[in-house]
């Protein structure tokens, strides 16, 4: 039922969230009052009253149903304030007719029912609508007491006192409900603002998560490509027929392949760091190290023949071009 009502309201030209909630409340109230007037018509007709009283009460019920039907159509068009005004009038007019027909003695409950439009105006209408409702309600009550055609029973309090008490209650109740509804509207507005902020944060988070997921996928692809390239490089270096090494600018070896190890006569582990210098021939070691330092200082390619002494003296051509790796330092 609530979902149907919400869809019915959404089909109307009402878009403000607070007005939508007001429209939901008003729709339920209008439908209830329409049914009450429709059902009350035969009841009023069957009630043992005089012809004038019966005609007034039946007319009041029909009038209320007509006003509520009109208010429902106006609300359907998206005019919430006009629908509220029609609903208030649809309560005031039938109540005044019923009170005039039954009088104060038999229509005392109608006098209390006059607070219903005041409640509606306090919750739904603005200050002008509230003042109008209270003024009209008090005026109708005053007219009922002042009209000589309305039966006036003996009352424990003067008519002026009853009118004053009724007006005071209507004012206090209306002002309280009006203030309360405004505070409630501000609270709902703040909640809606927070809700929109949370929705915006959620969308931003979703976009960031999507970007992060794409970045993770791209990084994994890059890592896979790098790993694949590294595997190809190592396979190429491992099966290369020439000796290959990699060293830092300080002369520390980082890697040698098997061919270099066989040529120099050192195990790969022993050649790392400065261990490679142990494979140099003593007569050539100082010249090789000096050439290496000059090449490193100038950032130039090292080209020279190098003599190794283990297990037998071997001479090999050495070429070490500088290259900058992705992390910054220059390697050879």
Find, among 302, 190, 287, the residue nearest to 249 by Cα.
Answer: 302
Q: Tokens standing for 188?
A: 């709902």
Q: How far is CA 83 from CA 28, 67, 68, 76, 116, in A?
A: 13, 10, 9, 9, 16
Please tell me the number of Cα atoms within 13 Å of 249 on its side-chain side.
14
Residue 99 has a pLDDT of 76
Residue 253 has a pLDDT of 76
Residue 108 has a pLDDT of 57
Which domains are assigned to the chain? 2-202 (no CATH), 240-331 (3.30.450.20)
b/e code 42-60 from CB counts within 10 Å (16+ = b): eebeeeebeeebbebbbbb
Determine how β-strand 314-320 pairs with β-strand 323-324.
Answer: unpaired
The residue ranges of DSSP E strands in the chain, in sequence order, are 245-247, 253-256, 302-308, 314-320, 323-324, 330-331
Determine how β-strand 302-308 pairs with β-strand 314-320.
Answer: antiparallel
DSSP label at 94? H
Rounded to the nearest 10 degrees, the angle between the axes of helix 80-106 and helix 17-46 is 30
| 119 vs 175: CA distance, rounded Å | 9
The residue ranges of DSSP E strands in 218-324, in sequence order, are 245-247, 253-256, 302-308, 314-320, 323-324
Residue 216 has a pLDDT of 92
Give the mean pLDDT per block of 10 residues along the chain (332 residues): 56 69 83 85 79 83 89 84 87 81 62 77 81 82 66 58 76 84 82 87 91 91 87 76 74 75 75 71 70 67 63 59 52 47
Q: How far is CA 12 from CA 16, 21, 107, 154, 175, in A?
A: 11, 13, 38, 51, 30
Peptide bond into 58 cis (omega under 30): no
Find, among 99, 198, 108, the residue nearest to 150 by Cα.
Answer: 99
Residue 230 has a pLDDT of 80
Find, among 242, 278, 271, the residue nearest to 256 by Cα.
Answer: 271
CB of 102 closer than 8 Å to CB of 86: no
3-state secondary structure of 306: strand
Residue 157 has a pLDDT of 57
């Amino acid at each position: 039922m609530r979902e149907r009502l919400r869809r019915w309201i959404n089909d109307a030209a009402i878009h403000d969230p607070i007005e939508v909630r007001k429209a939901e409340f008003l729709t339920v109230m209008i439908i209830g009052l329409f049914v009450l007037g429709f059902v009350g018509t035969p009841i009023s007709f069957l009630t043992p009253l005089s012809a004038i009283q019966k005609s007034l009460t039946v007319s009041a019920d029909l009038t209320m149903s007509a006003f509520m039907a009109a208010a429902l159509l106006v609300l359907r068009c998206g005019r919430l304030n006009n629908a509220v005004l029609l609903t208030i009038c649809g309560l005031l007019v039938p109540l005044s007719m019923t009170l005039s027909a039954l009088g104060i003695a038999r229509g005392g409950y109608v006098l209390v029912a006059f607070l219903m439009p005041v409640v509606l105006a306090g919750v739904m209408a603005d200050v002008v609508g509230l003042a109008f409702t209270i003024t009209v309600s008090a005026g109708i009550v005053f007219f009922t007491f002042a009209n000589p055609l309305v039966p006036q029973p003996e009352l424990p309090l003067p008519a002026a006192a009853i009118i004053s008490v009724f007006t005071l209650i209507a004012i206090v109740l209306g002002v309280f409900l009006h203030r309360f509804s405004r505070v409630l509207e501000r609270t709902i507005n703040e909640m809606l603002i927070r809700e929109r902020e949370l929705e915006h944060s959620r969308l931003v988070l979703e976009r960031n998560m999507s970007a992060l997921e794409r970045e993770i996928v791209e990084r994994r692809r890059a890592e896979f490509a790098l790993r694949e390239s590294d595997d190809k490089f190592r396979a190429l270096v491992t099966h290369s027929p020439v000796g290959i090494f990699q060293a830092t600018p300080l002369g520390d070896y980082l890697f040698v392949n098997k061919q270099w190890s066989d040529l120099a006569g050192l195990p790969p582990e022993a050649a790392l760091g400065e261990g490679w210098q142990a494979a140099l021939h003593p007569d050539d070691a100082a010249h090789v190290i000096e050439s290496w330092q000059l090449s490193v200082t100038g950032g130039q390619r090292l080209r020279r023949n190098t003599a190794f002494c283990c297990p037998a003296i071997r001479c090999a051509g050495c070429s070490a071009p500088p290259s900058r790796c992705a992390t910054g330092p220059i390697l050879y």
